Amino acid sequence: AMKLDVDALRYLSKDDFRVLTAVEMGMRNHEIVPAELVDRIAGLKHGGTYKVLKNLLKHKLVHHDSSKYDGFRLTYLGYDFLAIKALVNRGVFAAVGRQIGVGKESDIFEVAAEDGTIMVMKLHRLGRVSFRAVKSKRDYLKHRSSYNWLYLSRLAALKEYAFMKALGEHGFPVPDAVDCNRHCVVMSLVQGYPLVQVKRLQNPDEVLETIVGLVVHLAEHGLIHCDFNEFNIMIDDNEQVTMIDFPQMVSVSHRNAKMYFDRDVECIFKFFSKRFNLSYQEAEDGYDETEADVEEIERPSFSSIAKTAGFLDKELSASGFTRKDQDDIEKFIEGGTEQKDTTSSDDELEDQEQTHIEATDDSVAENIDFLDLEDQKQEDAAASCNVSIQNEDK
């Protein structure tokens, strides 16, 4: 489990955050941000930037790379601190507690609001697993690996937040979406346990019907969860169900929609059959006549569900998550679209990414009074450095 030592947060100064933010901004165009560029963006007097960088390095918030030139990049921890600082400044929470979950691509912590309310903070770590797998197959991201884990993790968090919010507004049992910053989503704490930890249920057939009903209800709203299993379904003491974990959801208009839908259903049926001994209709023609007198739970069929694809689009984009974001993220999340060649040139890709990153400019920058430099100057500094680095690469 990753240790998130937030104590250091308390000791970091305004200048520390200013320089950390400068590294983040530099990463728009650089995998490794030249120290000189960090200095130009941060604009601290008397070589202050270099002293601060040393301090950030000591706290493992940045990584030093001098293989090609003297440069720095954010670590996960550095990115975590920027998100946490922004959310603390916004008054979303005041303290970070213990880690309650380690997913394949996330770390989950308890956080506490000023008034003591406990919530959950999910830090997305896209790139820890699947992005690497993707990266090995695609080379247009060759020089952008560090950059892209920031971008993709941020996109995953935004998607999760947008879906959680929209689903909650439509009455689905999901955690309350509280806020989102960078790769971090804050949500309400679900009282209960993941289904995988539940050994006994009072009414397993009722719970199964509820859960299968959710898959169907989602599809009626134009959505498929795509990772609907005993790890992403929480059950409380009253056997009430809450679903979590949405970064991989797709629309029913996705070309593999039926497969994903059937897979979600099959996952649930298989688990209930094994753990709670419930029977259900076999897929396709595997229906067993000898068990005809056992009461079985009906298998929902994807084709018979009236689907209103795109029903949630408006709500999703209200949270800032666009159709294009969805297309982007599907390329990288396992179980998303099959590999296909991109038609974007590198330049187009860069433009798109720029747009996304610009959209993240937020309260950290504002709160540390970072934007007193004119935006244009920063862009110029970044652009001129980028050119010289590319030349060095050759």
Closest contact distance (angstroms) between CB of 57 and ligand ADP is 29
Residues 126/328, Cβ–Cβ less than 8 Å: no
Q: Is 264 a catalytic residue?
A: no
Given the complex with ligand ADP, which of 108 and 305 has the nearer CB atom? 108
Does 153 sit near Mg ion (CB under 5 A)? no
Residue 130 found at the interface with Mg ion (CB under 5 A): no
Tell me how far CA of residue 367 lies from CA of 32, 62, 74, 117, 356, in angstroms.
25, 21, 20, 24, 21
Spatial separation of the C-alpha atoms in residues 141 and 151, rounded to whole Å? 12
Q: 226's torsion region: left (phi>0), alpha (psi -120 to 50) or beta?
A: left
Count of CB atoms situated within 10 Å of the CB of 84: 24
Of 18-26, 41-49, 75-83, 237-245, the window that binds Mg ion (rule: CB under 5 A) is 237-245
328 contributes a contact to Mg ion by CB under 5 A: no
Shortest reach from residue 368's CB to Mg ion, in Å: 34
Concatenating the DSSP letter of every residue in 328-366 gives HHHTTSTTSSPP------HHHHHHHHHHHHHTT--HHHH
Using CB under 5 A as the binding rule, whether residue 360 contacts Mg ion is answered as no
Nearer to Mg ion, 245 or 262 (CB): 245
Minimum CB distance to ligand ADP smaller for 106 or for 130: 106
Judged by beta carbon, residue 233 or residue 389, the one nearer Mg ion is: 233
Binding at 189: pick from ligand ADP, Mg ion, none (beta carbon under 5-8 Å per type): ligand ADP
DSSP string, 251-289: ETTSTTHHHHHHHHHHHHHHHHHHHH---BPPSTT---G
Select the span of 17-25, 232-240, 247-255, 330-338 touching Mg ion (CB under 5 A). 232-240
Residue nearest to ligand ADP (CB): 103
Residue 142, SS3?
A: helix
Q: Under the rule (CB under 6 A), what is the footprint of ligand ADP? A: 100-101, 103-106, 108, 120, 122, 175, 187, 189-190, 194, 231-232, 244-245
Angle at alpha carbon of residue 326, lines to 323 and 332, rounded to 5°: 155
Smallest distance, Mg ion to C-beta of residue 228, A: 10
Instruction: Choose among Mg ion, ligand ADP, none what residue 190 binds, the Cβ cut-off being 5 to 8 Å by kind.
Output: ligand ADP
> Residue number with the shortest CB distance to Mg ion?
245
334 by Cβ neighbours in 10 Å (0-12 / 13-18 / 19+) ranks as: middle
In whole angstroms, give the CA distance from residue 174 to residue 130. 25
Nearest distance in Å: CB 262, Mg ion: 20
- Closest contact distance (angstroms) between CB of 246 and ligand ADP is 8
Considering the complex, what minimum distance in angstroms separates the CB of residue 267 from ligand ADP? Answer: 14
Partner in contact with 105, chosen from ligand ADP, Mg ion, none, beta carbon below 5 to 8 Å by kind = ligand ADP
Report the alpha-carbon distance of residue 326 to residue 250 in Å, rounded: 8
Question: Cα-Cα-Cα-Cα dihedral of 373, 377, 379, 382, to 10°?
Answer: -100
- Say which of 16, 39, 107, 227 is annotated catalytic: 227
* DSSP letter, residue 297: B
- 245, 262, 264, 353: which one contacts Mg ion (CB under 5 A)? 245
By CB under 5 A, tell whether 264 contacts Mg ion: no
Q: Is 326 in the site for Mg ion (CB under 5 A)?
A: no
- Give the residue numbers marked as catalytic: 227
**Residue numbers at the binding site for Mg ion (CB under 5 A):** 103, 231-232, 245
